[in-house]
Amino acid sequence: MRVIQLRVSYQLELVLDGDAEVTIEAKAVLRRGDPASSKAQAVNLDPEQQVVAPALAVFGATVTSSAVLRTGVLDLAFDNGLSLAVNPDAQFEAWQVRKSAGLLVCTPGGDIAIWS
């Protein structure tokens, strides 16, 4: 799925073709290069403060992989070499993934709620 729109308020939304949206409400890290490498360049994003300009680089990129870890971390990788990691928040919902088939939400503390 390709990122076809970005929306910014007190959250960052990635609108994907194929009727999907990723909403980021917590701090996140955008990386260029292999996240396991010491040479990876990382930029912190803070949607609540509208510190999200570096995320414009994912516009037009295709999501090549996505994962939700047991800890509540959302990891997205893009075909342009960028990756995005959103950690859970202790007090607020950190992220949501919406598709026509349902909704995934990282609840406060990192548990994952699923609605279909």
d(C-alpha 6, C-alpha 56), whole Å: 7
Two tokens, residue 53: 């300009």
- Tell me how far apart the alpha carbons of residues 75 and 116 are, in angstroms, rounded to a whole number: 21
Could you tell me if 56 and 6 are in contact, meaning their C-beta atoms sit under 8 angstroms apart? yes
Per-residue pLDDT of the chain (116 residues; tens, 9 = 90+): 999 999 999 999 999 998 999 999 999 999 997 666 667 789 999 999 999 999 999 999 999 999 999 999 999 999 999 999 999 999 999 999 999 889 999 999 999 999 99
pTM to 2 decimals?
0.91
pLDDT at residue 39, rounded to an integer = 72
pLDDT confidence of residue 33: 76
Residue 34 belongs to domain spanning = 3-115
As for how many domains the chain has, the answer is 1
pLDDT in the model for residue 79:
97
Contacts of 70 (CB under 8 A, 6+ apart): none
The count of other CB atoms within 10 Å of the CB of residue 104 is: 17
Report pLDDT for 36.
67
Residue 86, pLDDT score:
98
Give the pLDDT confidence score for residue 37 in this predicted structure.
67
